[in-house]
Chain A
Amino acid sequence: MNLDTSLTVAGKELKVIRRKKSIILYIVIVPLLLSFGFSLIVQNDIAPPSGIVSNYQLGLESLTYFFVVLAAVLPASIAAYSIVGEKIEKGLEPLLATPASDGEILLGKSIAAFVPPILTLWAGASIFMVAVDYLTYIELSYNFFPNWTSGIMLLLLAPLAAIFSIECAVIASSRVTDARGANQIASLMFVPFMAIFLAAVEGIFAFDLDNLLIVSGVVLVVDVALLFLSTATFRREEILTKWR
């Protein structure tokens, strides 16, 4: 595996992404809307009457966790498109005729699907945290962020969730024969993370450090397994001979 080749592939993918306005809008607008929307929710709906600080904390953690869910949504469609789109543009044959290996190509595409959404997501989360800190400082005289929980969520679990969704999208897009199918499968990747969110809302799951580290560990193991699976299931010949 040559990282240089993967970075070359990633560089080209990033150039393409940069010139696709719909993708840029998608990965920039969604986290920004989320951050502004959540800030308004914090301001209007769950501003704490004194004495119910714990509910307030759960609300903020749940909203922060939503950025993890988003991390499982945004990169998947880019990853799915980067393989299916290659086939649509008929670029896969010349690409596969180069000395680049399947693993190098897939890693490059995954890097390109990972970096822009995770950066915009972190930017959105930062705006949200600054806004919330402003409000909590006024209401409670302290800054809620940063804290370990949000750190684990945004710096560990969100990237792992993004990698999970990218790998699932890569596997899906190399098995389906059209862009719509790949996008439909990719759009389902947020479901496990959404389930955790709902479990927390229902009180079955707590966003504490231990639980978040366990979830992160599980996602890490799944990511490693999917990494091997995505390379092993990438059938260049099937893609070239069966896709039309």
Chain B
Amino acid sequence: MIETRNLTRKFGDVTAVDDLTLHVNDGEVFGFLGPNGAGKTTTVGMLCCLIAKTSGSARIAGYEVGNKSDSVKIRRLIGFVSDNVGLYDSLTAYENLDYFGKLYKCPEPRRKENIERFLKMLGLWEKKDVPAGTLSKGMKQKVAIARALVHDPEVLFMDEPTANLDPESAKTVREFILQLKQEKKTIFLNTHNLDEAQRICDKIGVLNTRLMALGTPQELEYSVGARKTVILLDEVSDTILNALKRLSPGKVTRDGSTLTIELANPNKENPAIVRAIVGAGGNVQSVSITASSLEDAYLKLVREKQG
């Protein structure tokens, strides 16, 4: 659905996006992570035909970004939630949505139906006749999201939709995105929120001018290092530690009655470890596997670039 190949954008001597190659499948939620100034907004700007590319290519649903006639077709296919809500304060929530629906040439019955549907889904139907300027920040953001969806776009670009929202509003927006995911909308989500990306996205790209990593959240977590097995025992004796030493599974650290063992493949190695502990007289209460978090992966990737 979305494909970029060596996409680059320079502003004078400054390279905002460098050699970006990625692919987002139909119905996929793609999370774009990166620090401030990493080029996420510029990338979305290019894909939404708002900013010209310097070099490389990008296609959305087969249409070429940058080609004049294709750009109009792309704009019809996409919805865009900018990092600023950009509602017309003197118009009501309903009028804001209706205006954009008309600009997208969405037929009146469908437009009305969609406005009602999305405002109800976002809990704003009661506020439909209220001037947008009087709505709270969270409500405005929800209206901005509904505005991007009023014409039933195939692809939705969202630039930090939960930034600066209170936790409750952010949760509503995230749940709404999950609903859209169930409806198989293709979503390109710029975000700073790692937890949000982990929960919502099928695939994540980490951008810091260049694409640092691309994969599923799990793949990114595993990419930063070994996973750990955490074993809770009644008591950790020297016999148990010696038994583990003989097995030499990986680095073992002890914290009271808890053992943490770094393993390349916990699923494969855990049975032998548990057998060794039990054989040494240990009483195992629980065994769990922990991986490096997405945050670990993200920070490692971003710091690598900075270093």
Contacts and interface: CB of A to CB of B under 8 A. Distances in A.
Interface string B139-158: 00000100110000000000
Nearest to B85: A90
Nearest to A5: B103
Interface in B173-229: none
A215 to B, nearest CB: 38
Given A91-B86, A97-B78, A99-B76, A240 B91 contact: no
Contacts of A240: 45, 50-51
Given A94-B147, A99-B72, A12 B88 contact: yes
Contacts of B100: 94, 98
Interface size class on chain A is: 20 to 34
B72 A237 contact: no
A92 B86 contact: yes
Interface string A1-44: 00001001100100110011000000000000000000000000
B295 interface: no
B104 interface: yes
Contact of A89 (B52, B72, B75, B88): B88
Interface of A: prevailing SS: helix
A228 B45 CA distance: 26
A78 to B, nearest CB: 14
A15 B91 contact: yes
A96 interface: yes
Interface string B42-53: 000100111110
Contact of B80 (A5, A94, A101, A236): A94
A93 interface: yes
B89 A89 contact: yes
A237 B48 CA distance: 12
A155 B218 CA distance: 71
Contacts of A20: 90
A100 interface: yes
A141 interface: no
A97 B75 contact: yes
A50 interface: no
A241 B103 contact: no
A20 B90 CA distance: 8
B51 A241 contact: yes
Contacts of B82: 90, 93-94, 97
B61 to A, nearest CB: 14
Interface string B115-142: 0000000000000000000000000000
B103 A98 contact: yes
B91 A16 contact: yes
B115 to A, nearest CB: 15
A96 B50 contact: yes
A99 B95 CA distance: 19
B148 A94 contact: yes
A206 to B, nearest CB: 46
B87 interface: yes
B50 A98 contact: no
Contact of A237 (B50, B75, B102): B50
B278 to A, nearest CB: 62
A91 B87 contact: yes
B110 interface: no
A97 B89 CA distance: 19
Contacts of A9: 103
A236 B86 contact: no
A101 B147 CA distance: 19
Interface in B150-168: none
Given A240-B45, A240-B50, A93 B91 contact: no
Contacts of A100: 103
Interface in B81-110: 82, 84-91, 95, 99-100, 102-105
A184 to B, nearest CB: 24
B100 to A, nearest CB: 7
B186 to A, nearest CB: 16
Interface of A: 5, 8-9, 12, 15-16, 19-20, 89-101, 236-237, 240-241
8 contacts: A8-B99, A8-B102, A12-B91, A90-B84, A92-B86, A97-B48, A97-B80, A98-B103
Q: Which 8 pairs of residues, A with B, have the shortest CB-CB distance?
A: A90-B84, A90-B86, A97-B80, A91-B86, A19-B90, A98-B103, A93-B82, A99-B75
Given A90-B82, A94-B144, A97-B82, 16 more contacts: A12-B88, A20-B90, A89-B89, A90-B84, A91-B86, A91-B87, A92-B86, A93-B84, A93-B86, A96-B50, A97-B50, A98-B100, A98-B104, A99-B76, A99-B105, A241-B51
